């Protein structure tokens, strides 16, 4: 079946550096999401994105975070600069419609900020 | 605010026994939330197990069932007879019915099925 792909599965970066997390959503999907899960805690919504724009974002979506989907390719989450508390697993998701449809999730990228 | 509570962090059950995973929710700002169960099998990504969008309705998939109980604000997941392959982490979640909105997840319940 269709899959949301997140590569690589693990990224290690020094604090203060910039990192871009890539997500390859399902090709005909129109809505895109990022979630964050710190080890041992629940998965929390960061942001959703439709038609080239952020629709809503949570308080976890700090000013250092940005999202984009240039040319309809990868959906990216950029963190600049990174902080130690950004260490977490980041999950991308996508859905075709929004109304009553459950998003399809990727396997996540573990970000380790040293 | 809106939230989802799963009281059991870890459950161990023997194969062929029944399983109930509790989920209650609070939807103070959402009038009619959609309710979901997601599952993550070992080594795999999060996937939808079942969803129910109408209060009073029951969803089912792979032998699991969950009923949207608006009065009790619950959405417990049940299976009459589990298999070893059901070992996974199960997440209860809710969202607004309006399009593309955030999913609010519970903390997850790790289910281990012993042979």
Q: Residue B17: its pLDDT value, please?
A: 97
User: What is residue B56's predicted lDDT score, i.e. its pLDDT?
Assistant: 94
pLDDT of residue A111 exceeding 90, the answer is yes
- Chain B CB contacts of A4 under 8 Å are 45
> Nearest-CA residue of chain B relative to A41?
B107
Question: Quick check: A89 pLDDT over 90?
Answer: yes
**How far apart, in whole angstroms, are the C-alpha atoms of residue B9 and residue A22?**
31
Mean pLDDT of chain B: 92
pLDDT at A98: 64
pLDDT in tens, A6-58: 989 999 999 999 999 999 999 889 899 999 999 888 999 999 999 899 998 99
Instruction: Kindly report, residue by residue over A75-88, the tens digit of the pLDDT.
Output: 999 999 999 999 99
Residue A22, Cβ density class (10 Å: 0-12 exposed, 13-18 middle, ≥19 buried):
middle
**Cα separation, A12 vs A42, whole angstroms:** 22
Q: CA-to-CA distance for B4 and B24, rounded, in angstroms?
A: 6
At CB < 8 Å, which residues of chain A contact B? 3-4, 31, 33, 35, 41-45, 48, 50, 55-56, 58, 91, 95, 97-100, 102-108
Q: From the list B46, B47, B53, which residue is nearest A100 (CB)?
A: B53
Cα–Cα distance for residue pair A104/B47, rounded to 1 Å: 7
Nearby residues of B82 by Cβ (< 8 Å), 6 or more positions away: B13, B15, B16, B17, B18, B19, B111, B113
Quick check: B51 pLDDT over 90? Answer: yes
- Report residue B75 as tokens: 């959405």
d(CA A104, CA B46): 8
Q: Span B92-106, mean pLDDT?
A: 81
Structure tokens at B52: 């129910």
Tell me, what's the pLDDT at B2?
86
pLDDT at A114: 96
Mean pLDDT, residues B90-103 taken together: 81
Q: How far does B63 lie from chain A, in Å, by closest CA?
A: 19
Contacts of A108 in chain B (CB under 8 A): 45-46
Question: What is the reported pLDDT for B98?
Answer: 64
pLDDT of amino acid B80: 98
pLDDT digits (tens, 9 = 90+) for B78-91: 999 999 999 999 99
Nearest Cβ partner of B102 from A42, A56, A104? A56
Contacts of A106 in chain B (CB under 8 A): 45
């Amino acid at each position: 079946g269709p899959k949301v792909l997140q590569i690589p599965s693990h990224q290690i970066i020094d604090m203060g550096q910039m990192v871009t997390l890539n997500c390859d959503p399902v090709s005909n999907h129109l809505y895109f999401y990022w979630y964050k899960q710190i080890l041992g805690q629940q998965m929390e919504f960061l942001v959703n994105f439709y038609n080239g724009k952020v629709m809503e974002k949570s308080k976890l979506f700090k000013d250092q975070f940005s999202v984009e989907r240039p040319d309809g390719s990868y959906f990216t989450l950029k963190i600049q600069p990174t902080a130690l508390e950004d260490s977490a697993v980041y999950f991308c998701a996508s859905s075709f419609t929004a109304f009553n449809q459950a998003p399809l999730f990727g396997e996540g990228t573990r970000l380790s900020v040293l | 605010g809106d939230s989802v509570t799963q009281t059991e962090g870890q459950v161990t059950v023997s194969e062929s026994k029944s399983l109930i995973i509790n989920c209650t929710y609070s939807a103070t700002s959402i009038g009619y939330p959609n309710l979901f169960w997601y599952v993550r099998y070992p080594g795999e990504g999060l996937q939808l197990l079942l969803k129910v969008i109408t209060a009073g309705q029951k969803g089912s998939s792979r032998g699991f069932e969950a009923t949207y109980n608006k009065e009790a604000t619950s959405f417990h997941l049940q299976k009459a007879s589990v298999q070893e392959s059901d070992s996974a982490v199960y997440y209860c979640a809710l969202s607004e019915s309006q399009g593309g909105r955030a999913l609010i997840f519970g903390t997850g319940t790790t289910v281990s099925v012993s042979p």
